[in-house]
Chain A
Amino acid sequence: DAGVTQSPTHLIKTRGQQVTLRCSPKSGHDTVSWYQQALGQGPQFIFQYYEEEERQRGNFPDRFSGHQFPNYSSELNVNALLLGDSALYLCASSLRGLPVYEQYFGPGTRLTVT
C-alpha cells in the first residue's frame, strides 16, 4: 500500500501565476482534504472533497479551488499566486464515516512563490 502520495514534491512559481497540485489517496479511501502549512505554523484546513464535490471549506479565498476525480484522486488549484501562498500543501485521505483519526496525510508539496 503506497499510502497517500502527492506530486510534485517541490514547486517554484512566480507571483500571479497559477499552480495545480495533485494527490492520490490511500487505497480504499474516498475522501480527500487539503491543508496549507506556512513555515512554523500548524496545518490549516483548506477544503474537503467527497463524491467529487466540495463538502467543507476553511477560511480561504476563491483563488483556491479543487477537484476530485472518479478514482478519488484530487487536485488543488491556486490562481493569481501571492507571496503569502508559499507553504507546504498537505493532502489527507480518509474513508467517509470512519473516525477522524483514521485520516492519513501525504508528505506534502512545498510551493515557493517568488
Chain B
Amino acid sequence: DAKTTQPNSMESNEEEPVHLPCNHSTISGTDYIHWYRQLPSQGPEYVIHGLTSNVNNRMASLAIAEDRKSSTLILHRATLRDAAVYYCINNFGNEKLTFGTGTRLTIIP
C-alpha cells in the first residue's frame, strides 16, 4: 500500500466545517483512498472511501484531487463526538490495512 502523509493534529470549532488533508503522491492507479477514524478507547471505524470522483455519505465527504495525489476529508459540521484520530489509507483489494499515525482532531466547544 502507498504511503500517506497527514498533519499530526488539527483543531476546529464545534459546528464548523473541518477539512482534513492527506497527501499520497505515490498512489497507484488502482488504489482506493480510504478514511478511517478511531474514537477514544475504541477500535478504528470506516468513514468513507473513493477512487477518482468525490464521494458523499452520511458521515462525511471525500474530495479527491484530479491527479489523485491528495485528498481531503470534509466533516460538514463538526460535533464533539467527531474528536478522534483520522487515518487516510491507500488500499487495493488487500484486506490488510496499513495505518500511518493519522491526524488527531480536537473539537473546541
Would you give the shortest CB distance from B59 to chain A, in whole angstroms?
12
Answer whether residue A56 sits at the interface, using C-beta atoms and an 8 A cutoff: yes
Q: Using a CB-CB cutoff of 8 Å, which residues 11-54 of chain B contact chain A?
A: 32, 34, 41-46, 49
- Chain A residues contacting B46 (CB-CB under 8 Å) are 101-103
- Chain A residues contacting B93 (CB-CB under 8 Å) are 100
- Chain B residues contacting A4 (CB-CB under 8 Å) are 43
Answer whether residue B96 sits at the interface, using C-beta atoms and an 8 A cutoff: yes
Report the interface size class on chain A: 20 to 34
- Chain B residues contacting A91 (CB-CB under 8 Å) are 43
The one of A42, A45, A101, A102 in contact with B96, judged by C-beta atoms closer than 8 angstroms, is A45
Alpha-carbon separation in the docked complex, A58 to B101 (Å): 17
Task: Say whether B95 contacts A42, CB under 8 Å.
Answer: no
Q: How many A-B residue pairs have CB under 8 A?
A: 57
Alpha-carbon separation in the docked complex, A68 to B85 (Å): 30
The one of A33, A48, A92, A107 in contact with B41, judged by C-beta atoms closer than 8 angstroms, is A107
Q: Using a CB-CB cutoff of 8 Å, which residues 84-114 of chain A contact chain B?
A: 90-92, 94, 100-108
Task: Say whether A100 contacts B34, CB under 8 Å.
Answer: yes
Task: Say whether A33 contacts B96, CB under 8 Å.
Answer: yes
Alpha-carbon separation in the docked complex, A47 to B98 (Å): 12
Task: Say whether B97 contacts A45, CB under 8 Å.
Answer: yes
* Closest B residue to A50 using CB positions: B95
Alpha-carbon separation in the docked complex, A64 to B25 (Å): 33
The one of A40, A41, A48 in contact with B95, judged by C-beta atoms closer than 8 angstroms, is A48
Q: Using a CB-CB cutoff of 8 Å, which residues 74-109 of chain B contact chain A?
A: 85, 87, 91, 93-102
- Chain A residues contacting B102 (CB-CB under 8 Å) are 42
B residues engaging A (CB < 8 A)?
32, 34, 41-46, 49, 85, 87, 91, 93-102
Other than the given A44-B99, A92-B97, A107-B41, 4 more pairs (CB < 8 A) read A48-B96, A91-B43, A100-B97, A105-B42
A residues engaging B (CB < 8 A)?
4, 31, 33, 35, 40-45, 48, 56, 58, 90-92, 94, 100-108
